Amino acid sequence: MSATSELKKIQEKNKSMLCVGLDLDRKKVPTIYATSIKGLYDFAVRIIAATSDIVAAYKPNLAFFEELGPEGFSLLEKISNRIPDEVPMIIDGKLGDIGSTASHYASAMFERFGADWVTVNPYMGYDSIRPFLEYKDKGAFVLCLTSNPGSRDFQFLHVLNKPIYMYVAEKVAYWDKEQNLGLVVGATHPEQLVDIRKAGGDVPILIPGVGAQGGSLEQAITAGTDNFKKMALINVSRTVIYASPEEDFDKAARAEVEKLNGIINGLRTKITGGQQP
């Protein structure tokens, strides 16, 4: 089964389009969990245990683990082992390098850390992405139009009367021969998301930027799925895993996920009668 098919399968099973970012910031986790690797592990495991039946994916950001040195890489491996097999893990490293180097990144992410998907940077072109695609049952989300203000520095530049992000969307749709590619598009660009969704064909879109970064959940969902005709993942991080600074953080995380699922599924019912994409 292709990586995209697996993603669709878990969305249908858990009735969720949410990807929970496991960004373990020691300044934000409850104090008792912030002082040791074991504490961070226990925090992440409790978040996973509380939400794994109502989410579609988890997304640890590689930077938060790299910061911790060798212990951080061990922590990432251990957390990966606690995510249920049917729930995809997306390692967010925004990787991009020449093909020979990219092959080592692919091996590390997919084989050592157990990722099901990764995020990759397309700036160096197809040969920097191809090593990830050689893992037929794994997937890569390609940065297309990011949610940060600096996205306008390059991604909005026009080449032959078309913005660069549209070239990325079209290329990724063309490269997606094995149903193992997707796009990353920020929720802070809802109008552009409409055009990218059309250009991207059937590839899934990972949409960060909802909540703390100011993106609208409703706009991201309707634009990113073309009114629930196509597949998308809505990434939520801080609003879920730091929903409470107290010992009830896992219960608060679940409540937040349930609330967001309710909004999304209510919108789906309103638009489609509840049908899956």
Residue-level pLDDT at 1: 83
Residue-level pLDDT at 148: 85
Q: What is the pLDDT averaged over residues 92-104?
A: 94
Residue-level pLDDT at 99: 85
Residue-level pLDDT at 72: 96
Q: Which residues contact 25 (CB under 8 A, 6 or more apart)?
A: 64
196: which 2 tokens? 């990218």
C-alpha distances in Å from residue 203, one per residue of 158, 185, 229? 23, 12, 12
**112 lies in some domain:** yes
**277 lies in some domain:** no
Residue-level pLDDT at 215: 76
Q: What is the pLDDT averaged over residues 202-208?
A: 96
The answer, yes or no, to whether residue 182 has pLDDT greater than 90, is yes
The answer, yes or no, to whether residue 277 has pLDDT greater than 70, is no
**111 lies in some domain:** yes
Report which residue type is found at 48. Answer: I
**197 lies in some domain:** yes
Residue-level pLDDT at 153: 86
Give the tens place of pLDDT for each residue, 2-51.
999 999 999 999 999 999 999 999 999 999 999 999 999 999 999 999 99
Give the tens place of pLDDT for each residue, 119-159.
999 999 999 999 999 999 999 999 999 988 888 888 888 99
Q: Per residue, what are the HEC states of 45-82?
A: HHHHHHHCCCCCEEECEHHHHHCCCHHHHHHHHHHHHH
Q: Round the average pLDDT of the chain to a whole number and report it.
A: 94
pTM for the whole structure: 0.94
Residue-level pLDDT at 276: 57
148: which 2 tokens? 């940060």
The answer, yes or no, to whether residue 214 has pLDDT greater than 80, is no
**37 lies in some domain:** yes
The larger pLDDT score, comparing residue 181 to residue 272, is at 181
Indicate the number of domains in the chain.
1
**248 lies in some domain:** yes
Residue-level pLDDT at 248: 95
Q: Which domain holds residue 84?
A: 3-272
> Other CB atoms closer than 10 Å to residue 10's CB: what's the count?
17
Distance (Å, whole) CA 143 – CA 133: 15
3-class DSSP assignment, residue 161? coil
Across 24-34, b (16+ Cβ under 10 Å) vs e yields bebeebeeebe
The residues that are catalytic are 94
In this structure, the dihedral spanned by the alpha carbons of residues 248, 92, 207 and 135, taken in order and rounded to 10 degrees, is: -120
The answer, yes or no, to whether residue 58 has pLDDT greater than 60, is yes
Residue-level pLDDT at 11: 97
We report the CATH number of the domain holding residue 9 as 3.20.20.70
The answer, yes or no, to whether residue 254 has pLDDT greater than 80, is yes
